[in-house]
Amino acid sequence: MSKCLIAGGGLAGLSAAVMLLKNGIDVHLIEASPKLGGRSYSFYNDQFEESIDNGQHIMMGCYNETLKFLDIIGARDNVEIQKNLSLKFVKEGGDIFELATKSDLYPLNLSRAIVSYKALTFKERLKVLDLFLDLYCIEEGDLEDLTVADWLANEGQDKNTRDALWDILAIGTLNSKCEDASAALFARILKRVFFDGNDSSKVVLPVTDLTNMYVNPAENFIKNHGGKISTSERVLSIRLESGEVVELVTSKKTYKNFDYIISAVPHYSLIKILDSDINDTLKNIEFKYSPIVSVHLLLKSNPFEGKLYGLINSSIHWLFNHDKYISLVTSAAEELAEMDEQSIINEAILQLENYFPVFSSDFVLNCTIIKEKRATFIPTPMTERQRKQLRSPFQNMFLAGDWTNTSLPATIEGAVQSGFSAAREIFK
């Protein structure tokens, strides 16, 4: 039986391990931290008396590889898929507008959803429809050098349309400002969400915390299928001979008995552990990173009826309702990330009071703030061109991670897809 070492126990590493074991490859997964899950994990909060996610995630029905991963590890019931697309957006003052499909008559239901989205004027809605029609004809090369902001301007999308629709969707999806992010990548995502069938645009939300949603089931799957997991073991170096990896050194031991290696660590970590004999494409790609700030508020009374709200033109982008507490998430959160915790709390409560008249600071019992300063890479047009060229320079080593050549932004789906792809390179 072939043996594969996997460096990194985040989503990419776990999905690679699961796919390899499913196809008869022996696996030993090595993770530097004491826990699995990477950036997508949960922790128990004593004040909340619940497990809280490090960062709240929105998934979509087009997350085919993620849903397949959950199926394999027996965790599909840990997510809830909308019957039809429904997103509620809130303007300052409390007006709520819904972007929703009311039937399964795809694709007419999507057109009707846009026409009925009254956060925009009727003229603005027609402009949005024009953009979607143009997507059918656009080749990726047409947008390769453009940012999202450039493309939206070229398509005649005015400020209100950006505020009430595009900025929330683009920044949330890409964790980047529209002035920085690749238009080609955003267009690819829009096609995948809205043009791949009726199920693709449905929102998928966890019904439990992330650790219970996928980390624990994946760990159980790996162990039950004969795989080995080592935590609190940091990879220190990878030694090469004649274009192959022959030795992996960790903080605890040296490994020589393996056939393959999958690196599922971030790019900045991989560069540190590789020998100097690496190709320029892998070594010279430059990633810049963008933060995500999450504010979790424990409530003594919850006035929110919906499970998910997008806030229009606010410093808070999304509100997730967990009944006992709410989670407020801001992507591309450079400004919030530089604030002290009390200032962030004050800003969050101010935004809630301005957008939801039923809310008052008196509802708040406790607060937890999480700053993920290097949450995801920024997918600039230059970065996207470089990602397309990424290849492992070694015959028996394969790359996984949301930063690799997935054709997706740094999302759960990108991470899982990368893990599956690396595994398939081994057993194909």
Most trustworthy range by pLDDT among 102-106, 273-277, 393-397: 393-397
- Domain extent listing, the chain: 3-40+209-286+380-427, 100-198, 289-377
Strand partners, 330: 293
pLDDT value, residue 137 = 86
- Name the percent of the chain lying above pLDDT 70: 98
Q: 4 or 196, which is more confident?
A: 4
Q: How confident is the model at residue 278 (pLDDT cuts 50, 70, 90)?
A: low
Phi, psi angles (nearest 5°) of residue 260: -140, 160
Asked whether the predicted pLDDT for residue 283 surpasses 80, the reply is no
User: In the prediction, which pLDDT does 392 show?
Assistant: 82
CATH code linked to domain 289-377: 3.90.660.20
Q: How far apart are CA 396 and CA 99, in angstroms?
A: 47
pLDDT by residue (tens digit) across 23-42? Answer: 999 999 999 999 999 988 89
pLDDT tens sequence across 150-203? 999 999 999 999 999 999 999 999 999 999 999 999 999 999 999 888 899 999
Q: How many other C-beta atoms lie within 10 A of the C-beta of residue 125?
A: 19
Mean pLDDT of all residues in 2-27: 97
**Residue 279 pLDDT > 60:** no
Residue 280 is predicted with a pLDDT of 64
The DSSP 8-state label assigned to residue 277 in this structure reads -
DSSP, res 166: I
Question: Prior bond to 107 cis, omega within 30?
Answer: yes
What contacts 308, CB < 8 A, 6 or more positions away? Answer: 58, 87, 88, 203, 205, 318, 319, 320, 321
Side-by-side strand order, sheet with 86-90: 96-100, 86-90, 308-311, 318-321, 325-330, 289-299, 364-377
- CA distances to 58, 122, 294, 389 from 188, in Å: 18, 26, 27, 18
* pLDDT at residue 281 in the model: 64
pLDDT of res. 141: 85
Q: Which CATH class is domain 3-40+209-286+380-427?
A: alpha beta
Q: What is the pLDDT of residue 271?
A: 86
Average pLDDT estimate for 98-119: 89
**Residue 242's pLDDT is what?**
83
Average pLDDT value for residue range 270-289: 77
Quick one: which of 399, 230, 375, 193 has its CA closest to 294? 375
In this predicted structure, what is the pLDDT of residue 282? 78
* pTM score of the predicted model: 0.94
Res. 102: pLDDT tops 70: yes
Residue 243's pLDDT band (boundaries 50, 70, 90)?
confident
What is the pLDDT at residue 302? 95
Average pLDDT over all residues of the chain: 93
pLDDT of residue 276: 59
Q: Which of 54-63, 125-134, 294-303, 373-382 has the lowest mean pLDDT?
A: 54-63
